[in-house]
Each structure stands twice: as C-alpha cells, then as structure tokens.
A and B are shown apart, each in its own frame.
Chain A
Amino acid sequence: MLGIEGLSPETISGLLDLSESYIPQNQSIDKRRDLLSGRTVINLFFENSTRTRTSFEVAAKRLGADVINMDVATSSVKKGETLLDTAMTLNAMRPDAIVVRHSESGAVNLLSQKVNCTVINAGDGQHEHPTQALLDALTIRRRRGTLEGLLVAICGDIMHSRVARSNIHLLQIMGARVRVVGPPTLMPTDIDRMGVEVHYNMRSGLKDVDIVMMLRLQTERMQGTFVPSISEYFRFFGLDMEKLKVAKPDALIMHPGPMNRGVEIDSEVADDLDRSVIHEQVEMGVAVRMACLDALIGGRRNAIGAAA
C-alpha cells in the first residue's frame, strides 16, 4: 500500500468496514488475536515518528505478528548504506511486510520495487500518508455516518503536508468536497487542479464546513521564509473559537498530531470535548492499521478486494 491515489471507493469502504470490526477488540480487555501468527512485520522508519510507529507496532502485535523496529539512527544506514541495499538486506530476511517512513517523496515507492514482500507507506516526504487518510475517514464516518456530501476544510501548511495530499485524494474519491485554507506561501502550485477550492483566509475557508482538519505547521520551516512569525500565523491561521464560528455548529475538529498549541490550534478548541476528535483519530489509527495488515498479509484478500 503506497498511497490513496488510484484506490477505488469500494476498496476504501472495504478497508474502513474491516477497520470498524477491530474497534471492539481494541476496546476489550483481551486485545490480542492470532490472525497474523507467524508473520513478520518490520517497521523501517527513516524519519522519527513515535506516533505512527507505535500505532503500527500495536496493530501488528494485536494481530499476533512478530514486529521488529529498525532504528535507522543506529543502523547501517548511518554507515553509508543506500536505501536499496537496506531494502535488499531486509528482504533477504523474508519479512511479510515492511512499514516504511522516509523523508523523501517517492522513496517508499522505490523500495517497494526491490522487495517481494508487502510494503506499507507510513509517510513519504510530501507525497502520501495513506493510513492517516484512512483513519481520518474512519473517524469522520463513525461520527457522521458517511463521507459523501461533506464539506471538509484542510487548513495550514498544505505545501509540506503528505497528510493533506492523501486526504484530498480519499475525501474526493468518497464524494466529499474539499477546501484547502492557508497562506499562499504554503499552497503548492496548481493545487486547485487537484479539484479543491483554495482559500487564503479562515473566514471564507471555514464557512459552513462540516469538518476542520488542522495541519501541523513545521516550525523548523516557519521563521521568515514561508510565514513571518508564529504570532502572525496564529493570529490569521490558528484555529480558535472566533474563527470557528463560521463553520457549522457541530463541525468536527481534527489534527493528525503532534499539535503545536498556540501555533495552528488554540487549546480551547483542541480540548473541546464536543467537537475535537483528535484523540479518537489516534484510536482509529490502530484499527485502520490492523485492517491494512489483515488485508495485505492476513491471507483474506478476497474479503475486501486487492488493496495493494
């Protein structure tokens, strides 16, 4: 599974249905099953990510798989090994799935061409982060029943966000309308040609939306070049109760994490128990990753169609 782009609505619905079936298991006391017993999953993270890596690890373990976390920082990559050599080496150990996070767009794609196991993209550069889009979709579907016809605003640093790209694909495949909202400096060129509405201010961008997805502002890129300052960004693009007023009263607030409170989101909004579903997103993340592993290496492919 490399990306959302190109998936059919049926495949996505099937994965979401399967994910849904794992939620009760995750909420029960005995969380472990043997579905993937004997399978090996390698988490290969070239970029730090506590959240996503842990989520994949928990998902695989709850299905009974053996999980190996490769710590790239201390691996042979640091000794100068190329991406493809690392891939070939791991491939020779015959894993069933490799979950890859890499800072360069397309790196996961390249790796997948050289191994003969399943590869799951856990985020590549500014390209895609498919399981994030699936868990967002699952969260919305559970709250709203469907994705079809919803108006979704994705706000903030669209340019550097793989989450935005995966969500744009998925939401549109499932019949939702998507707006992107942010300063023009954080909009990728010709983003409107991906079928989204572009807004440069929150007032028009959030008007009447059902869902507000905030993105993390990569503060390391903040100062001066894309956006003048954190205080100016928060003033004009940070989600607070005032800006949220123009959205639908029951609009859901989402964030892929980690949040920068006081940068892209105000604590009052982030902690609003009625509307903020940020923690629910994390919970759904485990279920979605269980479903992906199940579908891809669980030997029950025909249950939901080929997702790979």
Chain B
Amino acid sequence: MSRRMSGDVLRGAPPHTGSTAFINARIVDPAADAEYTGAILISDGKIADFGPNLFASGAPYGIGSVDCRGLHLAPGLVDARVHTGEPGEEHKETLESAGIAAAVGGITSLVLLPDNEPPFDDASLIEFVARRARQVKLANMYAYGALTVGLEGKELAEIGLMAEAGAVAFTDADHAVGNAQMLRRALYYAKGFDALIVHLPQEPSLSGGNMTSGVMATRLGLSGVPPLAEVMMVERDIRLAEMTGGRLHLTKISTAESVKAIAGAKARGLKITCDTAPPYFALNDLAVGDYRTFGKLVPPLRSEADRESIVEGLRDGTIDAIVSDHRPQDQDSKRVPFAQAEPGGIGLETLLPVSLELVHNRQLTLPQLFQRLSAAPARLFNLPGGKLAKGAPADLVLFDADVAWRVDRDDLWSKTKNSPFDERPVQGLVMATIVGGRTIYRHDNFTPTPAAA
C-alpha cells in the first residue's frame, strides 16, 4: 500500500512576494457561511481579493496562478491545543516535527500547551517558542502561558509579563485547577489584562481512573472516571466566570451533561466558550477494547450517548471550536499495561480528515466546520488567521474533501505514532498548505500548473 500522505514539506520556501492567484477553487468562507467556486488573489503574503467573480473569465494575465482544479480552498486550520516535547522531551516531538505534521494536516496556526519541562510559566519561555517558530518556518506558532507556577494550581504565574511576551492565553494544560479560590483569583487577575483562561474541567478528586466509568470499564476491570467529574466542574467554572467577569474557555468537552450546562450558560448571556477534540465526537469507549493504550486520553473516551451529544453540540454551536489535542507519546509510554500507560494521542494530521466526517454525515456544512476549525479559534485567541478577508494573512488549506484513505500510523509524519485513529478509514486529504502566501506543504498528487506558487 502506497504511502497516502506522501508529499513535500517546503521549509525553504522564501517569503511570498508579488501576486499569486488561486483559481478554479471551491472556496469555503466560514465568516460568510458560504461555499462557492471562485478565486483568491494573494499579494505579498496577504489576501488581496477573493470571490466567485474574481477571474471568472479565465486566468489572470501577468501574474502567477495556481489552478486548484475544483479542490476546496479554505482558511487554514487554527489548532488551539498542541503539545510537543520541546523543550524537555524532544525524543517525542520537536517544534520542527510538529510543524511538519501540522503542515501535512493543513494547520496554519497552532497554540502550544505550556506543560513542558520546564513548563512555560516564565516570559523567557514564551519568547523561546516564538524564536524557535521563526527558525522552523512552518505554521505560525503561538504559546499559552501557564496559569499557575509549575502548573501546580497553587500560585498565580506571571500572567501580565507573559502576555507582554506574546502568550495568547493561559492554562494549566491537562491539570484542572481543583481549588475554586485559585481559579476565582486567576479569573479576576486575568481580567485586568483582558486575558483568556483555558481550563480543562475535570474534578481532580474524581479523575484518578483510567477510562470512563461504565460497563466497559467494569468488564475490563479498569478504574473509572465518571462523566460527572466533568459536568460538576463545568458548572462550578460557569459560576466563577459569572462572578468574576473573567474570560473563560472550557476545553475538551466530552459529556452530554457538560454540553447541556454550557448551552444553559450561553442562553443566560455569559461569554463562556468551549471546544472539543476529534476523539470525543468520532470515538467512544469501545475504542479502548483490547486495552488499546492509544485510546487512553484525558478526559477518557466516553459512551456512545455522550459522543452523540458532542456531535449535537458542534452542530448547534454550543461547542465553538475543535482542537487536535495533539499529545505525542513514545512506545515506552504506551507499550505498558493500560493503567500504567501515559494518556494522550497525536492529532495534527487527522484533525481535518476526521472532522470532515461531520460533513460527510451531514451534521455540519463545510463553512460550519471551518468556523469550528479555523474562524472561531482564531477569534477566541485573537490570532490573525482563520478567515478570508482582504488584508488577512494568506493562511490557506487546499484539500480534496472526498478522497478515501485509511490512517496508518506508519504513514504519519509525527515523530511518535500514538494515534487513536490508527487504521480508521477516513475521507478527505490535504493537498497543499499555505502560510503567509508560502506553500509549505504540497501533496504528490497536486502539482500546480502552470506557474509555481
């Protein structure tokens, strides 16, 4: 079987200058909630013009053009939840290898979690990430600052100084802040800087188990994490956000009850937002049958009823965004008994194809999907990409929405292979990824005619 995701990652591409036209594309515009055949004109790395009528009478004269041959062209994905091993565990993933996997996955901007070794609880580490991202020259990379010192949930980290250094939001990654007074103060303090706090709602005292509670856990003899551990903290966090007026974003929503609680908060006019990740709308707890450690995640994979509610939450807009929750783990971390395995799965390269299932299943339209994958995360984290707009950076993804293939961990570009979607048949493949007008990835099946982009 040929390598499906074979293509070239083009790190050496120079900055985009002059003008390039992407013509004959199926354009997905999430802001306008529209999909149409048209063209996008790029000038000096920015979107200069776009629309159904642009170059409708044929290829433009005198500038380079790329014939998209009817493939979909959309704002590049903005992935707000990526962990790499740099610094600290470079054998699992470096910023460079993550940048490559992101390019192959159509991700043009990503936000790095702060739970490295050392954790990003100091402005110098935020600056380190920015400098390394410039060297890697692939996707735009941003960083979270730690919410508390050492992610320990005890003392506030230097939120103001890290925000000045470029941290786009603050989180303790997969560590929930169990102490309500601590999160309350953090929300108050961050409010002074208009900073966004991203929180994983999992009550720590109920989250010690290895998979979701239920008959599957009982049959496998694994300790359980009740879905209740999530919703009780969602409800607490909603109250704290309401009391403090702070900006709160809840991450990796995985249960039906949580979706209901957040929908209620939004209906009351609170500015709370949330995201989920593909495992929670595309997998359920059956995926950990046979003790598959690739299915061990935080929060754990839930029941089928919960999965259906997550899909519904994405459909009705209760869930604002989809993140990859990319977390590489090496074989030593996963080839151990289930209870001893490290949680987490890689997700950069499967984010788009797995999410496209929602479109193929007619649960979302393509513009709606790109609202969740690109526009909403860019808006929430105040990032420049994620939209089609004149003057916006030309961060785009060109993809074939229909081509079918099967995820094979050996084909993935990530340094580690722990995909919970290994062996899954999917539909949709990235053909090119464009960041600031530079094509940073091109699939072998897509060779641009007549002029190189």
Contacts and interface: CB of A to CB of B under 8 A. Distances in A.
Interface of A: 183-185, 187, 200-201, 223-229, 231-232, 235-236
A200 B245 CA distance: 13
Nearest to B189: A185
A227 B149 contact: no
B44 interface: no
A229 B148 CA distance: 12
Given A200-B192, A225-B185, A227-B189, A184 B158 contact: no
B220 interface: no
Given A184-B244, A235-B161, A236-B160, A223 B155 contact: yes
Interface string B136-166: 0000000000001100001111111100000
A231 B162 CA distance: 12
A185 B157 CA distance: 14
Interface magnitude class on chain B: 10 to 19
A183 B148 CA distance: 17
Name the residue among A185, A223, A229 with the largest chain B CB count within 10 angstroms. Answer: A185
A228 B155 contact: yes
B188 interface: yes
B191 interface: yes
Contacts of A229: 158
Contacts of B161: 228, 231-232, 235
A231 B124 CA distance: 14
B84 to A, nearest CB: 25
Given A184-B188, A226-B185, 11 more contacts: A183-B188, A184-B191, A184-B244, A185-B156, A187-B188, A200-B192, A223-B155, A224-B148, A231-B161, A232-B158, A236-B192
Contacts of B155: 223-225, 228
A229 B244 CA distance: 21
A236 B148 CA distance: 18
A184 B189 contact: yes
B159 A228 contact: yes
Contacts of A231: 158, 161
Contacts of A227: 156, 189
Chain B at the A interface: mostly helix, strand, loop or mixed? helix
Contacts of B189: 183-185, 226-228
A268 B244 CA distance: 35
Interface string B165-191: 000000000000000001001001101
Nearest to B157: A228
A190 to B, nearest CB: 11
A226 B181 CA distance: 10
Interface in B264-312: none
A235 B185 contact: no
A192 to B, nearest CB: 12
A235 B188 contact: no
A125 B189 CA distance: 24
Given A185-B185, A231-B161, A225 B191 contact: no
Contacts of A235: 160-161
B156 A228 contact: yes
Given A184-B244, A185-B185, A228 B191 contact: no
A201 B148 CA distance: 21
Nearest to B190: A184
A236 B123 CA distance: 15
A225 B155 CA distance: 5
Closest CB pairs A-B (n = 4): A224-B155, A200-B192, A184-B188, A228-B156
Contacts of A200: 191-192
A236 B161 CA distance: 9
B108 to A, nearest CB: 32
Name the residue among A224, A228, A235 with the largest chain B CB count within 10 angstroms. Answer: A228
A231 B161 CA distance: 9
Contacts of A228: 149, 155-161, 189
Interface string B4-25: 0000000000000000000000
A183 B192 contact: yes
A227 B149 CA distance: 12
Contacts of A187: 188
B180 to A, nearest CB: 13
A177 to B, nearest CB: 22
Contacts of B185: 185, 225-226
